[in-house]
Amino acid sequence: MTQLVSPSEVAFLLQGVAHNLRSDGRSRTQLRPVVVETGLVSQANGSSRLRRGNTDVLVGVKLSVGVPDLAAPNTGRVEVAVECAPSASPLFEGRGAREVNAGLAAAAASYLAAPGALDLEALCIRPDTHCWVVHVDAVVLDSGGNVLDAVCAAARAALANTTLPRVSTVPSETPGEFDLEVSDDPDDVIALDVSRLPVSVTLARLGDFYVADPTLEEEACQTAAFTVGVTADGTLSGATLSGDGGIPPAMLIEMFQVARKLGMALVADMNDLGEQEAKLDRDVVGFLG
């Protein structure tokens, strides 16, 4: 997702940041507005498309039945994969996006599959033998900076849109094995509890300042980036510092506080959006809108 910036562009951006007025009109700690629609992929158990500036992410959640890990026999698991489509950058053609994909997936998984983020015990169907595997697959269709936060937020919306069919196990004809029995009523489903699922908030260091939710151009001139996972009640779940510029400890502490505030507001906003969307009697707009 490289973007070329000239020295004069860098100077312009940095001066804007110093005056607390960024090139898209935002202040330093303002996020871009989020546009989200859920339930638009009918083949998936849950889905969402989220746009934030020019960043455009589609997430599909698919459920499959697997065998619990030996170390945790009464839990299910969450698997995260990210695919950057070539529409986001020509560099992503062929295997060009492999490393970016792996990096984004690992980063997103560290928040989405963190201990306590989802109730993994609720994903257990029968201890030792059957559990739900929740595949969270994100496609990055367009990039306008801060893809990680968009992937995490879109995944959160898609998981909130996901329902588990009610399933029980019955002894199979083969002794010692079990068959799955799915409830006959298609409306007899369990919603995933996303109340403890974090969103990620990224702050980028530009010169002596830091900005929230950086655009592609800002990412090109950042010297370091700091990402924090924040849940609805303000619990911090994981943080990552990247880039080669480093951040002084005093600034880092301030960034924690700012990220926490922004994250809590974002979760509240997204919950509101979800409730509003659920009330609408609407047709899917998808990519036609």
Partner 1 sequence: MSRREFVSPEGLRLDGRRPDELRKLQARMDLFSRADGSAYVEMGNTKVVAAVYGPREVRRASMAKHDRAVVRAEFGMATFATGERKKSSKGDKRSAEVSQMLVATFEPVILTELFPRSQIDIFVHVLQADGGNVAAAINAATLALIDAGIPLKDFVVACSAGHIDGANVLDLNYLEDSSGGGPELLLAMLPTEATLSLVKINDRIPLDVYDALVSLAMKGAALIHEVLVAKVKEHAHQQAASLGTIV
Site residues for partner 1 per CB under 8 A: 41-44, 47, 54, 56, 58, 60-62, 64, 81, 83, 85-90, 93-95, 135, 137, 139, 141-144, 286-288
Give the nearest distance from C-beta 94 to partner 1 in angstroms: 7
Cα–Cα distances (Å) from 44 to 39, 58, 125, 136, 216, in that order, read 8, 12, 20, 10, 30
> Based on CB atoms, which residue is closest to partner 1, 23 or 87?
87
Give the nearest distance from C-beta 151 to partner 1 in angstroms: 14
Give the nearest distance from C-beta 141 to partner 1 in angstroms: 6
Give the nearest distance from C-beta 134 to partner 1 in angstroms: 11
Give the nearest distance from C-beta 43 to partner 1 in angstroms: 6
Q: Rounded to an integer, what distance in angstroms lies between the CA atom of residue 140 and that of residue 152?
A: 12
> Based on CB atoms, which residue is closest to partner 1, 18 or 102?
102
> Based on CB atoms, which residue is closest to partner 1, 10 or 81?
81
Give the nearest distance from C-beta 67 to partner 1 in angstroms: 16
> Based on CB atoms, which residue is closest to partner 1, 55 or 75?
55
End-to-end CA distance of the chain: 25
Ramachandran class of 54: left when φ > 0, alpha when ψ lies in -120 to 50, beta otherwise? alpha
> Based on CB atoms, which residue is closest to partner 1, 16 or 46?
46
> Based on CB atoms, which residue is closest to partner 1, 37 or 83?
83
> Based on CB atoms, which residue is closest to partner 1, 1 or 120?
1
Give the nearest distance from C-beta 189 to partner 1 in angstroms: 18
Q: Rounded to an integer, what distance in angstroms lies between the CA atom of residue 222 and that of residue 204?
A: 6
